[in-house]
Amino acid sequence: MLGLNVNLKGMSPPRPPAVGGVARTVISQPRDFAFDFVARDFFKNYQRWCPQVVELEPNGSAPVRVGMTARQVTMERGIRS
């Protein structure tokens, strides 16, 4: 019965093993410097670590805060979205 996929009553098909991963980044700068770069200066620096973003404008005024939204335009494989 090769190639026959039968689901018997009460039996579920075998599940593939879960995929996992771990990442770690070491930043050789003081904590306040890193926070300012990533959070306080987000709209100024975001394109430095996400180069496909060609436009990024906050919807509202600064400072960056929880719930803030923005308009973002990306360029990927020549497609502007």
Q: In the chain, what are the helix, strand and coil shares in percent, each to the nearest 5?
A: 20, 20, 55
- In which band, very low, low, confident or very high, does the pLDDT at 63 lie, cut at 50, 70 and 90? confident
8 in any annotated domain: no
Provide the pLDDT confidence category of residue 18 given band limits of 50, 70 and 90.
confident
pLDDT band for position 7 (cuts 50, 70, 90): low
The residue segments making up the domain with residue 54 are 31-80
71 within a domain of the structure (yes/no): yes
pTM higher than 0.75, yes or no?
Answer: no
The per-residue pLDDT for range 30-46, each reduced to its tens digit, is: 999 999 998 889 989 99
66 in any annotated domain: yes
CA–CA gap between residue 45 and residue 18 (Å, rounded)? 35
Identify residue 21 by its one-letter amino acid code. G
Average pLDDT of the residues in 51-76: 88
Q: What percent of the chain has pLDDT over 90?
A: 43
Closest C-alpha to 54, from 38, 29, 75, 35: 75
Residue 76 lies in a domain: yes
Domain count, the chain: 1
Residue 18 lies in a domain: no
DSSP 4: -
